[in-house]
Amino acid sequence: MAVDALDTRILRLLIEQPRTSVREYARILSVARGTLQARIDRLERDGVITGTGPVLSPAALGHPVLAFVHLEVTQGHLDEVGEALAEVPEIVEAFSTTGGGDLLARVVARDNGHLEDVIQRLIQLPGVVRTRTEVALRERVPHRLLPLVESVGRTAAGGRK
């Protein structure tokens, strides 16, 4: 999907000012409200914009411990284990991977004891052979997409980088 300079400006505003109205976005960008809405609709339809809800802090919800759990799965059981992971509320996302494991789960917990309980639950899932856990100490680069959006926008505008 091609993202042009106007799309980049729209995405920047959506990231930086997520609670602003479409009318205000149109005013800021000096484009017609209908044009802006059509662009946003296309970005959603093409899967560039995948959500509009609030970004929540697990730590503020009482789960300050963040860990990455690599799960090795018995061959042929990846789908079942993936479905079982979706039933564990402390797993905030999980991915199939290559390398040292089959699945990588991002897990949040109230404390280290709670993390151990979650890991024990994962180990007991049918199809899980073993796990390896890495606890995050400090966030160094927060989740962000604006630098990527700007890079894509520069590329679309004919720039390099």
**Token duo for residue 122:** 């994962």
**Token duo for residue 20:** 């602003």
- Per domain, the residue ranges of the chain are 5-54, 58-136
Write down the pTM of the prediction: 0.85
Task: Tell me whether the CATH fold assigned to 5-54 matches the one assigned to 58-136.
Answer: no
Q: Is 92 helix (H, G, I), strand (E, B) or coil?
A: strand
Cα–Cα distances in angstroms (integers) from residue 3 to residues 77, 137, 150, in the given order: 38, 36, 10
- C-alpha to C-alpha distance for 11 and 39, rounded to whole angstroms: 10
Task: Give me the pLDDT at residue 157, please.
Answer: 72
How large is the average pLDDT for residues 8-24? Answer: 93
- C-alpha to C-alpha distance for 120 and 39, rounded to whole angstroms: 47
Question: Of 107, 116, 105, 112, which is closest to residue 73 (Cα–Cα)?
Answer: 105
Q: Does domain 5-54 have CATH number 1.10.10.10?
A: yes
pLDDT tens digits for range 42-78:
999 999 999 888 889 999 999 999 999 999 999 999 9
- C-alpha to C-alpha distance for 161 and 139, rounded to whole angstroms: 26
- C-alpha to C-alpha distance for 122 and 85, rounded to whole angstroms: 8
Q: Which fold has domain 58-136?
A: Alpha-Beta Plaits (3.30.70)
- C-alpha to C-alpha distance for 148 and 7, rounded to whole angstroms: 13
How large is the average pLDDT for residues 23-43? Answer: 96
Residue pair 85/91 in contact (Cβ under 8 Å)? The answer is yes
Task: Give me the pLDDT at residue 47, please.
Answer: 94
